[in-house]
Amino acid sequence: MLRGFKAFLLRGNVVDLAIAVVIGVAFGAVINAFVKDLITPLIAALGGKPDFAGLFFTINKSRFLYGEFFNALIAFVIIAAVIYFLVVAPYTALIERSRKEPPADPTTKKCTECLSEIPKDARRCAFCTSPQPV
């Protein structure tokens, strides 16, 4: 039982996934710092407010920190854009390039009646036996 568990843990997929999660968390921390320290002050400078994190409103002595939500939303949009433009779009383009249809085989043609592939010089279709134009 422990051998199976050890084999499961040491498979390449599990190790690759663990590395991806760790790198993803580190990347998220970098993006959050980027948003908090650079983007938020830049946007706030245009809008006149020095920091989104300080934005809040109070209802019945409860503070709602919607500025932190704005920071998290901006970080999410940046992470999604980076993943799309640096991972998804190139991967999709690569897959599309590799899926090119092979050139048509010049030794066959389609039957005019049943649309089966038959030899180019055939006089009758092997599937429906209809005569073929030469």
Q: How confident is the model at residue 125 (pLDDT cuts 50, 70, 90)?
A: very high
Q: How far is CA 65 from CA 41, 56, 99, 103, in A?
A: 17, 4, 49, 61
Helix (H, G, I), strand (E, B) or coil at 118: strand
Kindly give, in sequence order, each residue whose CB lies less than 8 Å from that of residue 50, ignoring residues fewer than 6 positions away.
41, 44
What are 76-114's pLDDT values in tens digits?
Answer: 888 888 888 888 899 899 888 888 777 766 788 899 999
**Candidate from 26-30, 44-48, 64-68, 83-87 with smallest mean pLDDT:** 44-48
Q: Are 28 and 79 in contact (CB under 8 A)?
A: yes
User: Which fold would CATH assign to domain 2-98?
Assistant: 1.10.1200
Q: What is the CA radius of gyration of the chain?
A: 30
Helix (H, G, I), strand (E, B) or coil at 87: helix
Q: Are 101 and 87 in contact (CB under 8 A)?
A: no
Model pTM?
0.52
